[in-house]
Amino acid sequence: MTPKLTPKLATLLVLAALIALTPFFFPSGYYYRVGALIFVNGIAVTGMVILIGYAGQISLGHAGFAGIGAYACALAPVHWGLHPALAVVLGAGISAVLAFLVGRPVLRLKGYYLGVATLGLGILVSMVLNNERELTGGPDGMEVPDLGLRDLLKDWGLNLSNGEFWYFFSGLCLLIGAWLALNLYNSPTGRALRALHGSEVAARTVGVDVARMKLQAFIISAVYASVSGSLLALQNKFITPDVAGFMHSIEMVTMAVLGGVGSVLGAIFGAGILTLLPQLLTVFADYEQMVLGIVMVLVMIFLREGLLPSLLKKFRGKDE
Amino acid sequence: MSELLQFLFSGVTVGAVYALVALGFTIIYNASDVVNFAQGEFVMLGGMITWFAHEAGLPLPLAALIAILATACLGVAMNKLMIEPARGAPVVSLIIITIGASIFIQGAAQLVFDKQIHTFPAFSGDTPFRIGGATILPQSLWVTGGALVVFVGLWLFFTRTMLGRAVLATSNNRLAAQLVGINTGFVMTLSFALSAAIGALAGVLATPITLTAYSVGIGFALKGFAGAMLGGMGNPKGALVGGFAIGLIEALTAGYLSSQYKDAAAFVVILAVLFFLPQGLFGRKSTDRV
Amino acid sequence: MKKTLTTTALASLALLSLTSAALAEIKLGASISATGPAAFLGDPEAKTLEMLVEELNAKGGINGEQIELVLYDDGGDPNKARTFATRLVEDDGVAAIIGGTTTGTSMSILAIAEDAEVPFISLAGAIDIIDPVKPFTFKTPHTDRMACQKIFEDMQKRGFTKIGMISGTDGFGASMQAQCKSVVADYGIEIIADETYDPKDADITAQLTKIKNAEGVQAVLNPGFGQGPSIVTRNFKQLEVGLPFYQSHGVASDGFIELAGSDAAEGVRLPGTALLVADLLAEDDVQKPVVTAYKTAFEAKTGTPVSTFGGYAHDAFLIMTDAITRAGSAEPAAIRDAIEATSGLAGTTGVYTFSASDHLGLDLSAFRMLEIKNGTWALVE
């Protein structure tokens, strides 16, 4: 490595190369779909890095924000004639406001109490989406309008299949998201957040406004989750309240922690593994759930810092 | 009047199940500071194994006993294989480990048993008792009684026995507990066995009312977790009150407000309580170690 | 079940094996919710498909070609269903798809199937799947609306005008609740109490007490599937509501009587399919042979009683193989045209006749009003 190659730049380059080069090895269009899902999950998980990895807080309800982002894209274009792209922004805005409003009281809580409070928050959102049938279509879900960007690109002479378009578009969004997160890491806010993760009391004594910092991390991660939900809705063009469900919240946390919540690349790696795993495990059919459970347990016991950091450490250890 | 009474009976029936699950959370938390999200799977196993053994021709009490013992053994195995090796891991890792265990047990249960819904006969028949125009099933009394007995037993255990105090000491400061001669490894094993057995007992008592299937665990775990947190994690009194409170809130909301949003009401109350009492109703005050 | 390996590394191996796959084969894809919240429906569907493929191949397949079933479990998650549908179409290259246990998963699969122009037969209830008609999408179950109509017809005959409803909040219950409310006025019936329960609820007496105490209520209807309706039925008995009680086709299986208890289930009416009353069908009933054959085979193979849902998968497979046989080709477009030309095909659910404007192919006559008498099903008519 040359000294000029900062970790931030290295991360972005690795990510960009992966996004750009793997399609050359795709045997069929189905792989674009899996790739796009990894990137969409990767965006949500990057938010979890900021919340869990930087600020040391947990949330068992972030799927609620994904639900808000997803349904903003489904509802706003139909009811207010808003362009789907603006609906993404609207969803992110609503998520940020909600996170701001509930963040202060909720973030005073610690550990499992924070867990149950965020869990309740997520469940409330998913309950509204399930029950307000007139508006959201209830558990059967509703259709989401087309983003229209693919047609626009076609007019400009760039003809992509639906799968290809969503692969590259989600990949680009993930790159931007990762870039912002990495910038935050090196900013004064990021340093304050990491101080807080080390020890809240110590951070407070050196003059960090702990409550404000936690709140910021919570809001930013909510926006990431919301955008991820929006992209999922736009890609699938159909959305059900499952997107806001408890299992999706758990999935986000698991992806981040499994991959390595200390770094953006690690967490995205986790998103990749957990998105691919069910696809690979179809081989095991009936044993799928058992294998998934075992993998989660083993990684957490033996690779505590997450898959990617632990593997890298082992790799380097052998070199030296 | 009879309407209110019926809502209360409904709430007590459901609340007793939640309370039993919440009590199971309490023990493991007291010994190890771990919230075991696989607690619901213990409840599922209690019901499924009893059904399976009963179906195979064993008398119901024997089937129930086998279910409780088998689940207790599984609890011990879970401690040895998953929790002990992860000692010192952060909260979020422990959450993922216990959720992983829960997914694994569910996957195994659907292979060993099946994916259908099952039940077995109620212990004292299905003829409801009639009180003031409202009705309650004998099995509801079994569940409620079970929750109360387990609570009293745990309360005595934690306050009156050396072993119970050893459990609490282990939770407060593991190293100090070891220094005064407490076998913390045994305490952990015991806690998991006890907790799993109580979970299985909940499954045995509740299945004639709630029915069972390989997938019912996560629902029980969520409600039990909520109940335990509402009451204050680690305190048997909190688990009992929290569990019953959530059952009653749900039933009264369904009765007087909206059945669609009854689960929402429970979580709104939890959020409100935690806003004023960040450690739940009866939780221990925690101080930050610096 | 076909075990597919699709890691990138193994993709090349798969290419190599193509040469040996010269044995004539028709690839049939399926994405079913064999686990997850809809496993109660999806499990018998998956087992039925596996059983039927085995049976058909043992008999020599279709027109001498073996059927290869590529079956995925989407766990009831529409997002996963979309991914699996993409995989079936793009990677596995199937000729047709059966699946979509729930409405949500069906809507996800149909978008992919329509884009790729691959025929798709859904196993879910909602009318939105085939209304408006989409060229490549068909479905086998009755719509929720038809179940509501069948029930309200019976209520009207018995002179009920004021009823209470207690619905599950899952997709099945919520969808049927909405459909029932939209057609109820056609029958001069008014819903004066409208309650819901969560599918995981352990006790529903609070909601039923409200319905019981509603002024002038004459009958109660419970749309839902899984364990909820069994608990509702038990609570109904516990409270001695004492009103005529209707369940939906969501619980049409012997398992329901067992779970609710034959005592509590006594007198419950529901719209069911011929499958439940195989023994009671007239000897000249066109459905009798197919219903009896499926029931015998399924129960012998799995040891569990047949359910209406397994029947939906049976019928989808029947329609599909019948169309492939008639088309004499496994080209997606040819299969689609042949499905649309299906006429008078007796399945377990009803007798199917599709057309360009009707991709359901059933009418109300396919439903039979059943009543539980002495712990078993009886025909009402």
What's the pLDDT tens digit per position in A106-132? 998 988 889 989 999 999 999 999 988
Q: Which of C213, C239, C263 is the closest to B135 by Cβ?
A: C239
Instruction: List, for residues C74-95, the tens digit of each pLDDT value.
Output: 999 999 999 999 999 999 999 9
In the predicted structure, residue C1 carries a pLDDT above the cut 50: no
In a domain, B40, yes or no: yes
Q: Which of A112, A290, A297 is the closest to B91 by Cβ?
A: A112
Q: Are C275 and C311 in contact (CB under 8 A)?
A: yes
User: What pLDDT, on a 0 to 100 scale, did the predictor assign at position B285?
Assistant: 60
User: What pLDDT, on a 0 to 100 scale, did the predictor assign at position C304?
Assistant: 86
User: What pLDDT, on a 0 to 100 scale, did the predictor assign at position B126?
Assistant: 87
pLDDT band for position C10 (cuts 50, 70, 90): very low
In the predicted structure, residue A209 carries a pLDDT above the cut 90: no
The whole-angstrom separation of Cα C256 and Cα C372 is 10
Instruction: List, for residues A32-49, the tens digit of each pLDDT value.
Output: 999 999 999 999 999 999
pLDDT (mean) for B257-274:
88
Instruction: List, for residues A131-156, the tens digit of each pLDDT value.
Output: 888 889 888 899 999 998 988 898 89
Return the residue of B nearest to A199 by Cα.
Answer: B290
In a domain, A255, yes or no: no
Look at C259 and B115 and tell me if their CB atoms are within 8 Å: no
Pairing of strands C66-73, C96-99: unpaired
Domain tally, chain B: 1
Domain tally, chain A: 1
Instruction: List, for residues A243-253, the tens digit of each pLDDT value.
Output: 999 989 999 99
- Mean pLDDT, chain B, integer: 90
The whole-angstrom separation of Cα C37 and Cα B260 is 18
In a domain, A60, yes or no: yes
Look at C178 and A242 and tell me if their CB atoms are within 8 Å: no
User: What pLDDT, on a 0 to 100 scale, did the predictor assign at position B98?
Assistant: 94
The whole-angstrom separation of Cα C228 and Cα B213 is 12
Identify the residue with better confidence: A309 or B212. Answer: B212
Instruction: List, for residues C21-44, the tens digit of each pLDDT value.
Output: 445 689 999 999 998 888 888 999
In a domain, B289, yes or no: no
Q: Could you tell me the residue ranges of all domains in chain C?
A: 8-143+291-366, 144-278+367-379
**Contacts C201 to A, Cβ<8 Å:** none
Return the residue of C nearest to B7 by Cα.
Answer: C206
Return the residue of A nearest to C77 by Cα.
Answer: A242
In a domain, A230, yes or no: yes
Partner chains of B (3+ C-beta pairs under 8 Å): A, C
Q: Which of C39, C169, C261 is the closest to B115 by Cβ?
A: C39
In a domain, A199, yes or no: yes
Look at B290 and A297 and tell me if their CB atoms are within 8 Å: no
Return the residue of B nearest to A290 by Cα.
Answer: B104
Q: Which residues 30-89 of B have a C-beta within 8 angstroms of A?
A: 35, 82, 85-86, 89
pLDDT band for position C14 (cuts 50, 70, 90): very low
Q: Are A61 and A122 in contact (CB under 8 A)?
A: yes
Which of A308-317, B43-52, C30-39, C136-145 is least confident?
A308-317
Return the residue of A nearest to C93 by Cα.
Answer: A28
User: What pLDDT, on a 0 to 100 scale, did the predictor assign at position B290?
Assistant: 42
In a domain, B287, yes or no: no
Structural domain boundaries enclosing A217: 33-245
**Six token digits for residue C245:** 């009680």
Residue among B263, B41, B243, C76 at smallest CA distance from A119: B263
Residue among C188, C190, C194, C270 at smallest CA distance from C229: C270
In the predicted structure, residue A212 carries a pLDDT above the cut 80: yes
Identify the residue with better confidence: A86 or B284. Answer: A86
Q: Which residues 41-80 of A have a C-beta within 8 angstroms of B?
A: 52, 58, 60
Look at A254 and B106 and tell me if their CB atoms are within 8 Å: no
pLDDT band for position A287 (cuts 50, 70, 90): confident
Q: Which of C1, C86, C111 is the closest to A285 by Cβ?
A: C1
What contacts C270, CB < 8 A, 6 or more positions away? Answer: C151, C246, C247, C248, C249, C251, C252, C369, C370
pLDDT (mean) for B228-246:
91
In a domain, A212, yes or no: yes
In the predicted structure, residue A284 carries a pLDDT above the cut 90: no
Return the residue of B nearest to A124 by Cα.
Answer: B264
Q: Are B233 and B155 in contact (CB under 8 A)?
A: no
* Residue C162 φ/ψ, nearest 5 degrees: -130, 120
Peptide bond preceding C305 in cis form (omega within 30 of 0)? no
In a domain, B286, yes or no: no
The percentage of chain A sitting over the pLDDT mark of 90, rounded to a whole number, equals: 57
Look at A278 and C79 and tell me if their CB atoms are within 8 Å: no
Best of B9, B210, B211 to disrupt the C interface by mutation (most C CBs within 10 Å)? B211
Look at C238 and B137 and tell me if their CB atoms are within 8 Å: yes
List A238's β-bridge partners, or say none: A143
Is B215 at the interface with chain C, CB within 8 A?
yes
**Six token digits for residue C8:** 């990138």
User: What pLDDT, on a 0 to 100 scale, did the predictor assign at position C67?
Assistant: 93
In a domain, A198, yes or no: yes
What contacts C58, CB < 8 A, 6 or more positions away? Answer: none
pLDDT (mean) for B121-129:
91
The whole-angstrom separation of Cα B196 and Cα B25 is 9
**Contacts A30 to C, Cβ<8 Å:** 83, 86-87, 89-91
**Six token digits for residue A20:** 């750009």
User: What pLDDT, on a 0 to 100 scale, did the predictor assign at position A167?
Assistant: 96
Q: Which residues 168-227 of B have a C-beta within 8 angstroms of A?
A: 218, 222, 225-226
In the predicted structure, residue C61 carries a pLDDT above the cut 60: yes
Please check whether the two domains, C8-143+291-366 and C144-278+367-379, share a CATH topology.
yes
Q: What is the DSSP string of chain A?
A: --TT--HHHHHHHHHHHHHHHGGGG-SSTHHHHHHHHHHHHHHHHHHHIIIIIIT----S-THHHHHHHHHHHHHHHHHH---HHHHHHHHHHHHHHHHHHHHHHHHTS-HHHHHHHHHHHHHHHHHHHHH-HHHH-GGG-EE-----HHHHHHHTT----HHHHHHHHHHHHHHHHHHHHHHHHHSHHHHHHHHHHH-HHHHHHTT--HHHHHHHHHHHHHHHHHHHHHHHHHHHTEE-GGGGSHHHHHHHHHHHHHH-TTSHHHHHHHHHHHHHHHHHGGGTGGGHHHHHHHHHHHHHHH-TT-HHHHHHHHHHHHH-
Residue among B177, B156, B155 at smallest CA distance from B167: B177
Q: Which of B82, B261, B270 is the closest to A120 by Cβ?
A: B270
The 10 Å CB-count burial string (b at 16+, else e) for B219-254 is bbbbbbbbbbbbbbbbbbebbbbbbbbbbbbbbbbb
User: What pLDDT, on a 0 to 100 scale, did the predictor assign at position C19?
Assistant: 38
User: What pLDDT, on a 0 to 100 scale, did the predictor assign at position C73?
Assistant: 93
User: What pLDDT, on a 0 to 100 scale, did the predictor assign at position C3?
Assistant: 40
Instruction: List, for residues B65-90, the tens digit of each pLDDT value.
Output: 999 999 999 999 999 999 999 888 88
The whole-angstrom separation of Cα C112 and Cα C123 is 16
Domain of B199, CATH number, reads 1.10.3470
Is B117 at the interface with chain C, CB within 8 A?
yes
Return the residue of C nearest to A29 by Cα.
Answer: C90
User: What pLDDT, on a 0 to 100 scale, did the predictor assign at position C8?
Assistant: 41
Instruction: List, for residues C248-292, the tens digit of each pLDDT value.
Output: 998 888 889 989 998 999 999 999 999 888 888 888 899 999 999
Residue among A10, A193, A200, A38 at smallest CA distance from A111: A200
In the predicted structure, residue A311 carries a pLDDT above the cut 50: yes
Q: Which residues 185-224 of A have a C-beta within 8 angstroms of B?
A: 199-202
pLDDT band for position C9 (cuts 50, 70, 90): very low
Q: Which residues 130-169 of B have a C-beta within 8 angstroms of C?
A: 135, 137, 140
- A120 Cα to chain B: minimum distance (Å): 5
The number of residues in chain B equals: 290
Q: Which of B35, B92, B267 is the closest to A123 by Cβ?
A: B267
The percentage of chain C sitting over the pLDDT mark of 70, rounded to a whole number, equals: 93
- Domain at C8-143+291-366, CATH class: alpha beta
Pairing of strands C219-222, C162-168: parallel
Taking CB atoms and an 8 Å cut-off, how many pairs form between chains A and C? 100
Q: Which of C7, C78, C87 is the closest to A141 by Cβ?
A: C78
Burial group, residue C130, by CB count within 10 angstroms (0-12, 13-18, 19+): buried
The percentage of chain C sitting over the pLDDT mark of 90, rounded to a whole number, equals: 70
In the predicted structure, residue A60 carries a pLDDT above the cut 70: yes
Look at C259 and B211 and tell me if their CB atoms are within 8 Å: yes
Structural domain boundaries enclosing B164: 2-276
**Six token digits for residue A189:** 């806010």
Burial group, residue A175, by CB count within 10 angstroms (0-12, 13-18, 19+): middle
Look at A105 and B275 and tell me if their CB atoms are within 8 Å: yes
In the predicted structure, residue A318 carries a pLDDT above the cut 70: no
Look up the CATH architecture of domain C144-278+367-379: 3-Layer(aba) Sandwich (3.40)
Look at B107 and A290 and tell me if their CB atoms are within 8 Å: yes
